[in-house]
Amino acid sequence: MKIRATVAVLAIGALSLTACRTQASSGVSTDNPEFKIMVGGIEKVIYLPAKLTEQLGYFNEAGVKVQLLTEPAGATAENSLVSGDVHGVVGFYDHTIDLQAKGKCITSVVQFADVPGEVEVVATAKADTVKSPADFKGRKLGFTSPGSSTDFLTQYLATKNGVSTSDYTGVKAGAGQTFVAAVDNGAIDAGMTTDPTVATLVSTGKAKVLLDMRTAEGTKAALGGLYPASSLYMDCNFVQQHKEAVRKLAGAFVKTLAFINSHSAAEIAEKMPADFAGGNKDLYIKSINDSKGMFNSDGKMKADGAKNVLEVLSQFSPAVKPKKDQIDLSKTYTTEFVTSP
């Protein structure tokens, strides 16, 4: 597992959670809570609930003020939480397990999706020779950044199909236009990304879908079970100290999940900022339509899904592997704020 923590995170050491709680508590009260939330790529459809909740006015209706920030990769967003710069992250649930293995308690308070919403695409020119992860040997494989969830999943897909992580070259390809450019210039042969990048690549004929983890069926085929992904996760102690504020925030997100499940892709796209469509509204609507099925309607974690995430990480993550039996999954997520009235 090639998880690369920044020097800043390493320097935090044993005092990291205390610092996080002290910094992140500022500005949050029960009556007029204000949150800073980092999103691991706010334009990505997998994190649609973040901006859509703001656009629908549900934060205001819940009585919370939310400042949405964005970083291109989940690993970077995670660092912002650990360092205390933000109160929460909209990112992949698997980071909560990885961080617990490193001695930090982070919990998902709203689980947006039971599947990754990720797609492994292959450059059209390579599609005849790369037909499954078993063909990853000797290939250049793109993901958002080292230590990101796409890095985690790429390693798992390779090893599950008999390809060692040393048999392929991992490439930091980012998302959006940087990922498209990596396909265009041959920097990657295949890679893992999300909509709207997938829709852009496929519609232009630059790439083809190799594995589709936007559906439960596709995820089970690729990973052997569900893989809960997009979520809102926060520091455990912060959550315990600000339950009512967190409850209001979680309620706003659950209301958005219900909206997604009861409206068409075109209706959802209409609510989003115009620039999210990148000048091609029809393609944006298609990307939402292709991915919207990944979102659940109630924000609840499926226990079997959480177990599968641990199973996947424990097979190759140097942080999780030696501590698999010590991981307490009950601390990595809670349904308290999505089930209580």
Per-residue confidence (pLDDT) for residue 6, from 0 to 100: 37
pLDDT at 258 over 90: yes
Model confidence band, residue 43 (pLDDT cutoffs 50, 70, 90):
very high
Helix (H) or strand (E) run with residue 10 in it: helix 7-12
195 HSE (CA, 13 A, CB side): 25
User: How far is residue 203's CA from residue 219's CA, in Å, rounded to a whole number?
Assistant: 22
Mean pLDDT over each residue of the chain, to the nearest integer = 89
Q: What is the mean pLDDT of residues 183-205?
A: 96
Model confidence band, residue 146 (pLDDT cutoffs 50, 70, 90):
confident
User: How far is residue 78's CA from residue 152's CA, in Å, rounded to a whole number?
Assistant: 14
Strand intervals (E) in the chain: 34-39, 65-70, 88-92, 106-111, 118-123, 140-143, 169-172, 190-193, 207-213, 230-235
* Architecture, CATH, for domain 7-115+228-339: 3-Layer(aba) Sandwich (3.40)
Fold match between 7-115+228-339 and 119-213? Answer: yes
Render pLDDT for 300-324 as a digit per residue (tens, 0 to 9).
Answer: 999 999 999 999 899 877 899 999 9
Going by DSSP bridges, is the β-strand pair 230-235/207-213 parallel, antiparallel, or unpaired?
unpaired
Burial of 312 (0-12, 13-18, 19+ CB in 10 A): buried
Paired residues of 22 in beta bridges: none
Structure tokens belonging to residue 331 = 């601390």
Under 8 Å between Cβ of 30 and 245: yes
Q: Which of 21-25, 173-177, 183-187, 200-204 has the lowest mean pLDDT?
A: 21-25
Nearest to 88 by CA among 254, 229, 231: 231
Domain at 119-213: CATH code? 3.40.190.10
For residue 17, what are the contacts with CB-CB under 8 A and spacing of at least 6? 104, 105, 235, 237
For residue 180, what are the contacts with CB-CB under 8 A and spacing of at least 6? 197, 200, 201, 206
pLDDT at 5 over 50: no
Q: What is the DSSP letter of 298?
A: S
Sheet with 65-70, side-by-side order of all strands? 65-70, 34-39, 88-92, 230-235, 106-111
Q: Where are the domains of the chain?
A: 7-115+228-339, 119-213
Per-residue confidence (pLDDT) for residue 145, from 0 to 100: 87
Neighbours of 315 (CB within 10 A): 15
Render pLDDT for 275-304 as a digit per residue (tens, 0 to 9).
Answer: 999 899 999 999 999 999 999 999 999 999
Per-residue confidence (pLDDT) for residue 128, from 0 to 100: 97
